[in-house]
Amino acid sequence: MKLKKLFCLVTVILMLILQSSQVGAQPELETTAESAILVDAATGKILFAKEPDKELPPASVTKVMTLLTAFDAIENGRAKLTDTVQASENASQMGGSQIYLEPGEEMSLKTMLIAIAVGSANDCCVAVAEHIAGSHEAFVKMMNQKAAELGCKHTNFVNAYGLPAEGHYTSAGDLAVMMREAIKHPLFLELTSIKRYDLRGGEFILNNTNKLLWWYRGTLGGKTGWTNEAKYCLASIAERDNLRLIGVVMATPEPRSHFRESMKLYNYGFAQFEAVPIAPSGQVMGKVRVGKGTVDWLNAAAKGEVSAVVPKGQKETVTHKVFVDPTVIAPVSKGQALGRVVVYEEGKEVLKVDLVSTKDIPRGTVFRQMFKLLKNVYSYSQ
C-alpha cells in the first residue's frame, strides 16, 4: 500500500515538473518555405527562423535592394524624384515583368520607382540604374556595396531585377536586414503599399503583386518574387498593436504559397509576442550642458525607435537606462551623438539607440563667453 502511494506521489511530481518546463514554451511553426525568417522590425530580434542563411535565388525580391539603393541616391542628392528618366535600348529589351518601355520613352524617376515597387518592372530597373549610376553594372556594384555595409554575408547581386543569373543569390536573413534598412525610408512603404497605379494616362494598369495588401490586415508593404529557379518568394512587413514584424519566405513550392506561408509567420508572431514601446524616434530623453556655445543646454533625442518585443505576458522583464554625456563643446552638429539609451530584457542588453542633438549649435562669440564667465563669478560671490 505504501509502495502504491509512493508511486502516485512520484507520478504527480513528474507531471508537475513536466508542466513547469513547458511554461512559456513557444509552439512549433512549420513552413514549406526552404528558408524563412520573422523578425521584430524595430530591434531586429529574430522570432522564428528556418535555414535563414541558406543562399538562394531571390527572383524579384532583389528589388528591395534596387529600391533601397535608389532611395539612398535620392537622399544623398545624386537624383531627384522629379528627374526625367529616358529608357535606353538596353532597358527596353528586358524580359519578364515589365511595362514595355520604348527606346527613348521618358518618365519621372518616381513613376519608374512605382512601376518597380508595384508592377515589378524589370525594364524600369535598368532605366533607373542607368540614370543613377551611368550603367546597370555600376548600379549593381552599388547594390553589393550597400549589402556589405549592412553586414549581409550571404548576398551577391548580378543584376538589379532578379532574373536568373549565375552567382545571383541572397538569404532570408539578409533580406530581413535589407527590409529593416528600407523601411527607414518612408518612400519604401509609400510605394510598395500602392495597390493599383494607372500608367500612361490609364492605358496601362499596374496591380500590386503583393496580395497580402488585400488579404492580411496590417500589411504595410513588401516585394514579391517568382522564377522557376527561385520558386515563390516574399519579403513583407505587417503591423498590429504597435508590433511591427518583417517576414521573409523563400522558395515556397506552388502559386500563392508565399502569401500563405507569410501569413503563417505573422499569425505566429502576433499571437505569441507583444511590443514594449519605450520612446518613438525623435523623442527627447535627456539634456546636455553646452560649453562655448550660443546656448547653455541642448536636447538629446532618440535617433531611432526605442522598444522591445517579448513573449506575451513578459513586459515586466523589460527595463532601460539613459546615458547622457555631461558636457559637449560647441560647435555641435544636428544628429551628433550625445549619449545612448540601452534596453534590457531580464537584465541582458538587447538594444542600444544613440541619443543625438536636435539642432546645430554654433560656437558662441568671445563676448558671450566673457559675459557668461562674469555672470558665473558674480553669482558665486553672492
pLDDT given for residue 367 in this prediction: 56
Out of 50, 63, 223, 264, pick the active-site residue: 63
Domain with CATH 3.40.710.10 in the chain: 35-274
Cell numbers given for 356: 543625438
The mean pLDDT of 4-31, rounded to a whole number, is 51
Taking phi over 0 as left and psi of -120 to 50 as alpha, with beta for the rest, 339 belongs to left
More confident residue, 32 or 378: 32
* 257 among known catalytic residues: no
CB 99 within 8 A of CB 204: yes
CB 326 within 8 A of CB 295: no
| Among 247, 286, 285, 279, CA closest to 265 | 247
The mean pLDDT of 26-55, rounded to a whole number, is 93
**Strand partners of residue 264:** none
The mean pLDDT of 120-132, rounded to a whole number, is 98
| Among 252, 200, 245, CA closest to 225 | 252
pLDDT given for residue 364 in this prediction: 74
Q: How many helices (H) and strands (E) does the chain have?
A: 11, 17
Cell numbers given for 114: 512605382
What distance in Å separates the CA atoms of residue 257 and residue 260, rounded to the nearest whole number?
Answer: 5
Q: Could you give the percent of the chain with pLDDT greater than 70?
A: 88
pLDDT given for residue 95 in this prediction: 87
- Give the count of beta carbons closer than 10 Å to the beta carbon of residue 41: 22
Out of 35, 88, 120, 262, pick the active-site residue: 120
Indicate whether 2 pLDDT > 70. no
What distance in Å separates the CA atoms of residue 234 and residue 223, rounded to the nearest whole number?
Answer: 6
**Under CATH, to which class is 35-274 assigned?**
alpha beta
CB 237 within 8 A of CB 222: yes
The mean pLDDT of 357-375, rounded to a whole number, is 70
Indicate whether 67 pLDDT > 90. yes
Q: How confident is the model at residue 374 (pLDDT cuts 50, 70, 90)?
A: low
pLDDT given for residue 375 in this prediction: 52
* 307 among known catalytic residues: no
The string of DSSP codes covering 91-156 is: HHT--SS---PPTT-EEEHHHHHHHHHHH--HHHHHHHHHHHHSSHHHHHHHHHHHHHHTT-SS-B
CB 248 within 8 A of CB 175: yes
* Close Cβ partners of 156 (under 8 Å, ≥ 6 residues apart): 144, 167, 168, 169, 170
The mean pLDDT of 140-163, rounded to a whole number, is 98
CB 251 within 8 A of CB 231: yes
What distance in Å separates the CA atoms of residue 26 and residue 273, rounded to the nearest whole number?
Answer: 10
Indicate whether 376 pLDDT > 90. no
Out of 35, 50, 60, 223, pick the active-site residue: 60
Domain with CATH 2.60.410.10 in the chain: 280-373
Residue for grid cell 505587417: 238
Instruction: Report CA-CA distances (Å) from 16 to 21, 91, 102, 148, 295.
Output: 9, 67, 72, 50, 64
pLDDT in tens, 307-317: 999 999 999 99
Q: How confident is the model at residue 74 (pLDDT cuts 50, 70, 90)?
A: very high
* 135 among known catalytic residues: no
What distance in Å separates the CA atoms of residue 114 and residue 295, rounded to the nearest whole number?
Answer: 45
pLDDT given for residue 78 in this prediction: 95
* Close Cβ partners of 235 (under 8 Å, ≥ 6 residues apart): 61, 64, 175, 176, 178, 179, 222, 223, 246, 247, 248
Residue 202 — φ and ψ, nearest 5°? 95, 0
Q: Which CATH architecture has domain 280-373?
A: Sandwich (2.60)
Q: How confident is the model at residue 16 (pLDDT cuts 50, 70, 90)?
A: very low
Cα-atom radius of gyration of the chain, to the nearest Å? 26
pLDDT given for residue 344 in this prediction: 95
Indicate whether 149 pLDDT > 50. yes
pLDDT given for residue 54 in this prediction: 98
Give just the sign of the alpha carbon dihedral 370, 371, 376, 382: positive
What distance in Å separates the CA atoms of residue 54 and residue 224, rounded to the nearest whole number?
Answer: 18
Indicate whether 377 pLDDT > 60. no
For residue 244, the SS3 value is: strand
pLDDT in tens, 228-275: 999 999 999 999 999 999 999 999 999 999 999 999 999 999 999 999
pLDDT in tens, 46-57: 999 999 999 999
Instruction: Report CA-CA distances (Å) from 135 to 138, 160, 254, 314.
Output: 5, 11, 35, 51
The mean pLDDT of 268-296, rounded to a whole number, is 94
More confident residue, 370 or 26: 370
Indicate whether 349 pLDDT > 80. yes
